[in-house]
Chains A and B, each alone.
Chain A
Amino acid sequence: MWQARHHHRALFVLVWLSALGAAPLPCPCPPTDRLPQKRTDSLGVASCSTSSCHGGPKGANHDVQSFAATIWINDDPHSRAAEVLHEPRSLAMAKMLGIGAPHRSRQCLVCHATQDLKAEPLPSRVLADGVGCAACHGDPTQWESLHTLDGWRQMSPDERKALGYTDLSTPLARVRTCVRCHVGDADHEVNHDLLAAGHPRLTFEFAAYQRLEPRHWSPAGKAEATADFTQRSWAVGQAATLEAVARLLEVRAARAVEEPVARWPEFAELDCSSCHRPLGGGGLASRSVIPGALPGTPSWQPWQVAAGRLLGTQAADAALVEANVIALRTLLAADWAGAEVEGLHRVCRQADSLATAAGSLSEQLSQAPRINLQGTPAAVETLVASSPQEWQSWDSAVQTYLALEAARQGGPARLGSAGCRLPQETEAGPALNTLRRSLQLPAGSNTPRDFDPRRFHSLRSEVP
């Protein structure tokens, strides 16, 4: 699956592929009237991308706004999210899942396109748009003409919001938009059925994704202008992502209670490497250990547990999030497959508790005067030293790397020009580059076969 030659590229591909979310299968299908309307685009990208509005030519002398749609069309993989549904891999997936043509399947389109899914039959026009303007900025029906007028600038954020416009100037607003597909919710879900059919795994870390997104906006007056932009993006992103992850787990457990037969346990909630490892003991050093659990117990998302623990080093209130993450992991280790109502209620309650704590932390971090991740390398060292067996998984290593990289990244100076994707290797520093390369997945495989936790942590301790 991964052709990446080094980890940077693996992350890059991850972003591209993970843009392709989808919905639950085979049951329970979300009733159509529950589908979110906010994301739909009755006008389409075409209405935004005329050459005199946002579809002008790229050029240093122009305002980025004037060629935002041009960047999106040329450089942003979101613009090809619907096209991907026509590819052989998507067709093969749909065949395995028995859902008909993927570009006609609402389950795929909820994330892969920006269109009104209430229409019957679905209009084909908007399909080519993929994840278009309205997916993030809100349905423009009520503000399309207004926003070209001078009065628009004088409108308050609340007034704009009332018209369906989504403000994306802060990391928190952005991450809450991204997680809808990149993590999922009741109506946008990549479950294990989809993964097994061939859908890429969703591994979301907002700060890294944001760095990879071709910037089609001006940094002026936005979060990019602040000195702690990347640090805040990382911290707020992890908190808001944890909130979304916990809410999704809550939805899944609640469904298993409500419906006499539902898809529980949901394997997508568990560590891939817990099960997808070679038989006979050897062969895969990556290991997510839960202290005290019976051998062979799959662990709950080491990707998120690591995020929670790393976040826990940041602020006093983050410790509550971390405690909730650990409690959830412990709860699921004791009973990850049981379908008894009582157990599922416990999962729901614990997931809700985590979501509440993480949601409130994301607000706090968003409003904090200053986010400083300078102490991250030392904090990570302490964390790993205190329970080394918990830091043996590839997932936790990638999260650690991403935290260190976020700590190193600065503010606006490192953004690059408009449309530019990511900082090049030289900017990350040699120690981080070596660390990143140690996380590389083998060609053609998504199993971290070559990952060696001891080597990783030895390299990590050399990161300044």
Chain B
Amino acid sequence: MIAGVGCSHVADRPGPRNVCRMPSARVVPCRCRLPLLLLVLVSCWAGSPRADDLPAPVDQSAHEPRFSFKGSEFCIRCHRSEQGEWSDTATTAAWRHDAHSRSHLALLSENPRTRAIEAALRIRAADTASCVACHTHPAAEPAVEEETPLVHAGISCETCHGAGSAYFEPHLEKRWRFLSPAEKQALGMHDLRSPALKAENCLSCHLGDVASGRVVSHAMYAAGHPPLPAFEMEAYSRALEPHWKRVWEKSPRVQADAARAGYHTETASVSQRALIGALVGLRESVEQVVDYAAASTGPSPAGRSWPELALYDCQACHHELQLPSWRQRAGYGDLVPGRPSLYRWPRELAAVACAEAGQPTDIDALLAPWVQELNRRPFGVASRLTEVSRAPLDQIGRAIDALAARPRDASLAEIERLRIQKLAAAGRRSTDFESARLLGWVLVETLSDHAGWPPETKARIVAQLTEPLALQFPAAGPNQPAAQPPFWQTSLTAAARADRESVQGAFQLPEQAASPAGAPPAHDHGSGTPGAGR
């Protein structure tokens, strides 16, 4: 499903190291999709005339992997230090402090949690495809050109940027930088400047991706795998200590060079990236179920058993039995009470994104066909899910395109000022903790990117959001205390103690922020006046 992972990772052929003993974790054949097609959101299955003739696993011989992994050692040779003005970050040094670089260590049986999972599932994590797929990369040995110590180390360079066998040599040349994303992709390098593709890349692990075998099954969770916290791309990215810079963050000379050479760069602001990310999250949460259903039904089911509980909203079942409850007050919409539902966390942010994209904003209405299906039978009938997903996915795709097409121009400051208001308003209406947390993260990211308000006002808003929504990530970088509670645990604790009033109240913006004194009158819906430009 993710651009590069789908094509270039050879991953999904079960090799000797990827033999899986868990029925629910068997790897399904990779379905290759061209990244540019992905941009316009034409998924492979979407063209099928009927749900019934769906899954027919993609013929692998037609999609022979063209690229294989070099191993991070090759990257580190250069990227461990600054590469001049264009690349003035010590990339791999930053990555060393990034939790991704240690993700493979979780596969070692020395960890008590890993040992418990291995015992409960009767597996060895390091040999299990569905574990390896996220904790290193879904590559089987044939994909690796040369066995080096770092080839399987964590989520490394090539996991996100694409397998390097073909682009490694060319990318050493100066002119590489000025090639178009399509030209780079042709050699296997992913366009992570595209917010939609980057979100898809991150979500393939942070949410899951059936095609590349990245599914944390319910059995894995029940055996002890930590729950995956709701994902927000921009906040997560910043928590990594980014090892990249946008072109406008680089030196004036580089910017001038870039402009002269027609250097392809991203145009999306932080908030725009976040909104696109939310829409991709919504899309992936639907597609994940559809893909899984396809892999479990049809003439040749790809070894998945239906239903897989992990594809549905955890909170739909895992909640306290009490009346009255936040869950009941939030209502079930048109869903029959007590039915498993799709993930809710992408919805409220996606609704803001849809409004920005000029698309209908009622996500519940958008997913009404899904609700009808889940009302007919808990978990829905696998063979029908593709059918009911078509229209919602089309609309989400249109919203992503509309947002991605927005140019970065002088109107940005005003757009962001209004976005802050809209995000805060959505937060004040929020109906569940995880949705509110996503809105909070994006609000904070947008504020920090927005030049309109005095720093102390922004700091106050950030402070009031951070505590109740647990927005803080574990500290990254060198010399951090080893005994920090894991992020998933702080997320759970915060969700358990959250109450609606304090969560919604955290989104109350100070008066002066809502309407800065002395600013000219508003021409929008009267929600305030334009802030100062950047």
- Identify the A interface with B (CB < 8 A): 1, 25-26, 89, 96-97, 192-193, 195-198, 261-265, 267, 272, 275-281, 294-297, 337-339, 444-447, 449
Contact = CB atoms under 8 A, between A and B. Distances in A.
Given A261-B377, A261-B381, A445 B336 contact: no
B492 A275 contact: no
Nearest to B381: A261
Contacts of B378: 263-265, 267, 337
B381 A272 contact: no
A261 B338 CA distance: 17
Nearest to A441: B321
Nearest to A195: B338
Given A295-B219, A295-B223, A278 B496 contact: yes
17 contacts: A26-B375, A97-B337, A198-B323, A264-B377, A267-B338, A267-B378, A272-B321, A276-B319, A278-B318, A279-B318, A280-B227, A280-B488, A296-B309, A337-B306, A338-B305, A444-B322, A449-B320
Nearest to A93: B337
Interface string B372-390: 0001111101000000000
Contacts of B323: 1, 89, 198
CB-CB nearest 9 A-B residue pairs: A196-B338, A296-B222, A196-B337, A295-B222, A275-B317, A446-B321, A295-B223, A197-B337, A445-B322
A337 B218 CA distance: 13
A193 B322 contact: no
Nearest to B327: A196
Nearest to A449: B320
Given A280-B488, A449-B320, 7 more contacts: A1-B321, A25-B336, A193-B338, A198-B328, A261-B377, A275-B317, A279-B318
Choose among A196, A197, A276, A297 the residue with the greatest number of B CB atoms under 10 Å from its CB.
Answer: A196
Contacts of B336: 25-26, 97, 193, 196
A263 B305 CA distance: 19
Contact of B227 (A26, A279, A294): A279
Contacts of B314: 279
Contact of B121 (A97, A193, A272, A295): A295
A89 B227 CA distance: 33
A449 B319 CA distance: 12
B318 A296 contact: no
Interface of B: 24, 120-121, 218-219, 221-224, 226-227, 305-307, 309, 314, 317-323, 328, 331-332, 336-339, 375-379, 381, 488-489, 492, 496
A296 B319 contact: no
Contact of B322 (A25, A262, A296, A447): A447
Nearest to A443: B322
Contacts of A26: 336, 375
A141 B213 CA distance: 67
A1 B314 CA distance: 22
Contacts of B222: 294-297
A263 B376 CA distance: 7
B240 to A, nearest CB: 23
* Most chain A beta-carbon neighbours within 10 Å: one of B309, B320, B375: B320
A8 to B, nearest CB: 20
A280 B489 contact: yes
Nearest to A276: B321
Contacts of B381: 261, 339
A275 B318 contact: yes
Contact of B226 (A264, A272, A278, A280): A280
Q: By DSSP majority rule, is chain A's interface helix, strand, loop, or mixed?
A: loop
A179 to B, nearest CB: 23
B207 to A, nearest CB: 16
Contacts of B221: 296
B218 A296 contact: yes
Given A278-B496, A447-B320, A294 B219 contact: yes
Nearest to A448: B321
Contacts of B218: 296
Nearest to B375: A26
A25 B227 CA distance: 32
A1 B322 contact: yes
Contacts of B492: 278-280
Nearest to B323: A1
Most buried by B among A97, A276, A295, A337: A295
B299 to A, nearest CB: 15
Contacts of A277: 318
Contacts of A264: 377-378
Nearest to B117: A295
B319 A193 contact: no
A296 to B, nearest CB: 3
A96 B337 contact: yes
A447 B317 CA distance: 13
Nearest to B308: A337
A337 B307 contact: yes
Nearest to B321: A446
A263 B377 contact: yes
Contacts of A280: 226-227, 488-489, 492
* Most chain A beta carbons < 10 A, residue from B307, B338, B339, B381: B338
Contact of B320 (A195, A261, A276, A338): A276
Nearest to A273: B321
B381 to A, nearest CB: 6
B490 to A, nearest CB: 11
A280 B229 CA distance: 11
Nearest to B320: A447
Residue in B331, B332, B378, B496 whose Cβ sees the most chain A Cβ within 10 Å? B378
Contacts of B337: 96-97, 193, 196-198
A249 to B, nearest CB: 16
A97 B332 CA distance: 10
Nearest to A265: B378
A292 to B, nearest CB: 11
A440 to B, nearest CB: 15
Contacts of A96: 328, 331-332, 337
A332 to B, nearest CB: 15
B374 to A, nearest CB: 11
Contacts of A275: 317-318
Contacts of A279: 227, 314, 318, 492
A198 B321 CA distance: 10
B438 to A, nearest CB: 18
Contact of A276 (B24, B307, B318, B489): B318
B397 to A, nearest CB: 29
Contacts of A197: 337-338
B338 A192 contact: yes
A66 to B, nearest CB: 41
A436 to B, nearest CB: 20
A297 B121 CA distance: 12
A102 to B, nearest CB: 14
A232 B375 CA distance: 43
A267 B328 CA distance: 18
A335 to B, nearest CB: 9
B244 to A, nearest CB: 33
Given A1-B323, A89-B323, A196-B338, A337 B379 contact: yes
Contacts of A276: 317-321
A164 B75 CA distance: 88
Nearest to A197: B337
Residue of A192, A193, A195, A281 most packed against chain B (CB within 10 A): A281
A445 B219 contact: no
Contacts of A89: 323
Contacts of B121: 294-295
Contacts of B309: 296
A198 B375 CA distance: 18
Contacts of A195: 338
A371 B427 CA distance: 63
B223 A261 contact: no
Nearest to A446: B321
A89 B325 CA distance: 13
Nearest to B328: A198
Contacts of A265: 378
